[in-house]
Amino acid sequence: MEIDYIPLLSESVDWDSVADTEFEAWDSVSDLIQIGPRSRFSATLAEYYLFGQYAGEVLNGGHSQLVHNSLVRKQDFYLLAEGFSRMAVRVGAPEFAGIASRFLQWIEANPFELHSQTGFEGGRAEELILLDQEFSELDANLSSVLETLLRSAQDEQERRFLESCLERGDAWRGDLYAASAIWIKRSNLIRTVSSEEYRDLVESLKKGIP
């Protein structure tokens, strides 16, 4: 059976802290995807995972670090970038898809430079550094997206969270994460489960039980 929801324990779901709940949601999907075959998960969950992976690694260590880690994981660059792009469109930030597209163009044009990319340790292609800068600048300038989300806020929790992000308050971890946090809250993908239900799901993935 396809897994088309994000299982979280009740103590991990607190919409008074939208950003923290979104972090817990991605962490849950990441843990489960590492255990079970990708085919068990819906396309939306797989893309949500790739979105967080791409954005997190680029903001942390740049596209060069993303190249390095993807090679270590033997991960398909195209699936990674395309998954990220689809989710960026979903959360209301399609501009990021253009960056991912140019990342793939660099991958295609520079096959012999891939293994020299190390990110933090200094192996960073100039073209990828420029993509990093564009990504970071865009991530800090999506106020129009957040303002649109604020105008359609569905409750006080969303309103407080978005206002804090627009003011660069404690809740802000980047505009892209803010938009994705609202998306996950409105998606109804999160399902509260008991510790026993979560354990059973993990065991079924380990055993390859459909």
Domain residue extents for the chain: 6-207
The 10s digit of each residue's pLDDT in 68-118 is 999 999 999 999 999 999 999 999 999 999 999 999 999 999 999 999 998
Name the 3-class secondary structure at 14. coil
Tell me if the pTM is above 0.85: yes
pLDDT of residue 171: 75
Interior CA angle at 138 toward 135 and 141, to 5°? Answer: 155
pLDDT of residue 121: 65
For 70, the token pair is 């993807």
The 10s digit of each residue's pLDDT in 139-188 is 999 999 999 999 999 999 999 999 999 998 877 888 999 999 999 999 99
Name the 3-class secondary structure at 8. strand
Distance, CA of 85 to CA of 154 (rounded, Å) = 26
| C-beta of residue 158 within 8 angstroms of C-beta of residue 18 | yes
Which amino acid is present at 48? Y
| C-beta of residue 46 within 8 angstroms of C-beta of residue 84 | no
Q: What is the dihedral of CA 109, 112, 118, 119, to 10 degrees?
A: -20
**Angle between the N-to-C axes of helices 43-73 and 77-90, in degrees from 0 to 180, rounded to the nearest 10:** 140
SS3 content of the chain, % helix, strand, coil (to 5): 70, 5, 25
Q: How confident is the model at residue 37 (pLDDT cuts 50, 70, 90)?
A: confident
